[in-house]
Amino acid sequence: MKAAVLCGKEELNIVSDFDDPVMGKSDVLINSKYTGLCSTDRTLYRGFVPFKPPLIIGHEIAGVVEDVSASAKGLDVSDHVIIPPIYPGCEDETCSSCREGLTNRCKKSVFIGHGVHGGDTELITVPSRYTFKIDKGVPLDEACIIPDAVSTPFHALKSRSVPPHIFQHTSHPNRLFEGKSHWLQGKNAVVFGVGGIGGPAVNLAARYFQAKNVVAVDIFDKKLEFAKKLGATYTVNSRTYFEENDIAIKELTGKDKAKALSSLAKHISSHLAEDKYQVDLVVDCSGVPDTFPVAVETASKNRTIIQVGWPPKPVSEFLNQKIMDKYLTINGAWACPMNEMKEIVQAVENKIVDLNLLVTNKEYTLNRLENAIHDLEAGKILGRATISIV
C-alpha cells in the first residue's frame, strides 16, 4: 500500500509498497481517505520527540470501512468513520485510568501515528469499539479534524472547565457538564492562540457551549479576523498592545516583566467591563511558555485555566503565589475520552461545529505532505490543513 513513512529525522518518504496491515479479531480495516495535519506531525518530522522508525505518521483520520472482522461490532463495510488518535490499549479498559473514566489516559495508550502506524496511508486497522461512525453527509476532508483538533478542546471545555467548588456545591452536578445546561453557558472565556486547536476552542466555546463572550488573543491580525468568523466576541493582538504602549516585553525580567504581563491581562479583561471584568475560563492553546503567566493574571478569582497547547519549554520568571491568591484551578487537557466522542460527532452532524471554517487548506495530497509541514511551520496555514490520501 501507499504510505508516508518517516524513516528518521526529516526523512519522510512516500512509498508505494508498504506492507498492508493485518486485522485483529475485533478490528475493522479502514480505507484512510483524509488526514488532518497537526503540529505533532511537524515535531515528529523534525525529530523533536522520539519515535521508532519506520513510522507511518498521521493521527487525524477519516475514512471508509473496507472490511470487518468476525468479532467486530457496530460497523459495516462502506460506513464513514473517524478514529481517535489515542485509545486504550489495556484489556477491557481495566487499568486505573480507564476505570476512572480517563480512557484518553490509559496506562497502555495506543497513540496512532506515533506509537503505532498512522493514517497517512491507504489502509489502517483499528479496534471496532474505538472507531466512530459519522453521517455520510459530513465531508471526510473536514471530518478528519474531529478526532484531535476538535475533540481535544471539546473535552477541555466540557469536562475540565468547571471549578471544583462549584461542582461540589450544586444540587445537580451532572447538569454542569451537559450541553444544554453546561456551566460555561452565559460565562466569559478567553482563548490564547488561534491556531489548529485554538480555532476550534473559540468555535466550540461560542457555538456549542454558548459562552456569553469569547475573547481571542493572538499576535497575528489574520488569525484574529479568523477568530471573529469562528464566534469570538472580542479580539486582542498582544504584540500590538505592547508596541502601542512602548513595552519592550522581550527585554524585561522579574517584576518589570510581571507588571507588563499584568497590564496586558487587564487590557484583555477590559473588554468585559459590563460584567465587572469577569473572566470565568482561560484556555491556553498557544503552546508558548510566556502565555501562562498572562493566563494566570487574566483569570478571575476562583476560576479555571486549562493548558491545551503543548509548550516546548518550561515557564520562567513566574510569581506562582498568584495561583494561591486567586484560588485558581489549573487543569491540563490531553486528547479526549472515548465516552465523549459520540457527543462530538453528534454536534458536527447537527452543524453546531463549523468544520467548513476550521478547515482552511484542502489542497494538499499525500505526495505533498512534506510541503504541507513546511507551510505549517511558515505560518501559511491559518486553521487546519487536510491531506488527501488518494
Mind listing the pLDDT tens digit for each residue in 30-40?
Answer: 999 999 999 99
Residues listed for the chain = 390
- d(CA 174, CA 169) in angstroms, rounded, equals 12
With CA atoms as reference, report the closest residue to 161 among 211, 219, 224, 122: 211
The share of the chain scoring above pLDDT 70, in percent, equals 99
pLDDT score, position 314: 80
In the block, cell 500590538 appears at 240
pLDDT score, position 319: 63
The residues that bridge with 68 in the sheet, in sequence order, are 28
Rounded average pLDDT over 362-390:
96
Q: Determine the 3-state secondary structure of 36 from DSSP.
A: strand
pTM above 0.85, yes or no: yes
What average pLDDT does the structure give for the chain? 96
In the block, cell 492562540 appears at 193
pLDDT score, position 321: 87
Confidence of residue 317 (pLDDT cuts 50, 70, 90): low
- d(CA 157, CA 363) in angstroms, rounded, equals 31
- The domain locations on the chain are 3-148+340-388, 161-332
Asked if the 161-332 domain carries CATH number 3.40.50.1000, the reply is no
The residues that bridge with 218 in the sheet, in sequence order, are 237
The residues that bridge with 361 in the sheet, in sequence order, are 385
Rounded average pLDDT over 6-21:
97
* Inter-residue contact 83 to 147 (CB < 8 Å): yes
With CA atoms as reference, report the closest residue to 279 among 306, 256, 249, 258: 306
pLDDT score, position 179: 86
User: Phi and psi (nearest 5°) for 34?
Assistant: -145, 145
pLDDT score, position 122: 98
pLDDT score, position 318: 63
* Inter-residue contact 212 to 186 (CB < 8 Å): yes
Rounded average pLDDT over 118-147:
98
User: Phi and psi (nearest 5°) for 358?
Assistant: -70, -35
**Fold of the 3-148+340-388 domain:** Quinone Oxidoreductase; Chain A, domain 1 (3.90.180)
Rounded average pLDDT over 225-241:
98
On the question of pLDDT at 300 being above 90, the answer is: yes
DSSP letter at 363 equals E
Nearest 10 degrees: Cα torsion 221, 224, 225, 228:
-160
Poorest-confidence range of 54-63, 173-182, 328-337? 173-182
> Count H helices, E strands: the chain?
14, 18
pLDDT score, position 180: 87
Instruction: Quote the Cα angle for 41-127-25, to 5°.
Output: 135
User: Phi and psi (nearest 5°) for 163?
Assistant: -60, 140
In the block, cell 502601542 appears at 244
pLDDT score, position 113: 97
DSSP letter at 112 equals B
- d(CA 291, CA 146) in angstroms, rounded, equals 26
Q: From the CB of residue 381, how many other CB atoms can be counted at a distance below 10 Å?
A: 18
In the block, cell 515535531 appears at 43
pLDDT in tens, 168-209: 999 999 999 998 899 999 999 999 999 999 999 999 999 999
